[in-house]
Amino acid sequence: MNPDIQSREDIQTLVDVFYSRAIKDDTIGYFFTDTMQLSLEEHLPRIYDFWESILFHKSLYKGNVMLKHIELNRLAKISDQQIDHWLFLWEQSVDQLFQGEFAAEAKHRASLMTQLMKFKLSQSSELGFIQ
């Protein structure tokens, strides 16, 4: 039986496993390597902050996650299927490593954000959209 997510170190482990998959993934990998050419050293700590803020109610993440993806979607279109696949990789990473209340919350909150993201991206393609 896997342990639950209990600390920032656990979040780091989870996010690192997820990103190692996402970056190599045939369906969504190119967003991280070609569209954005991310420096993981800079990017990953923001993702750790993001999940620590959500799961442990800290106020570490100060960005605007939806706006970031609206901008990304303008550079290279993100489809609903790709968002579903992102969620699949996230759930797979959580399940591989963790089990319990926080693990369930990590999957639930990600699922809600994928729904919001699909809606925001479709809205942002409409004329006159204001974030």
Per-residue DSSP letters for 28-45? THHIIIIIS---HHHHHH
Q: Which is nearer to ligand HEM, 1 or 42 (CB)?
A: 42
Cα three-residue angle 17-20-22, rounded to 5 degrees = 105
Q: Which residue is nearest to ligand HEM (CB)?
A: 63
Q: How far apart are the first and last CA of the chain?
A: 43
Contact (Cβ atoms closer than 8 angstroms) between residue 52 and residue 93: no
Residue with tokens 């967003």: 31
Q: Which is nearer to ligand HEM, 14 or 78 (CB)?
A: 78
Helix (H, G, I), strand (E, B) or coil at 88: helix
Q: Which is nearer to ligand HEM, 1 or 82 (CB)?
A: 82
**Chain contacts with ligand HEM (rule: CB under 6 A):** 28, 31-32, 36, 38, 46-47, 50, 63, 65, 68-69, 72, 78, 82-83, 86, 110, 113-114, 117
To ligand HEM, the closest distance from the beta carbon of 1 in angstroms equals 26
To ligand HEM, the closest distance from the beta carbon of 107 in angstroms equals 10
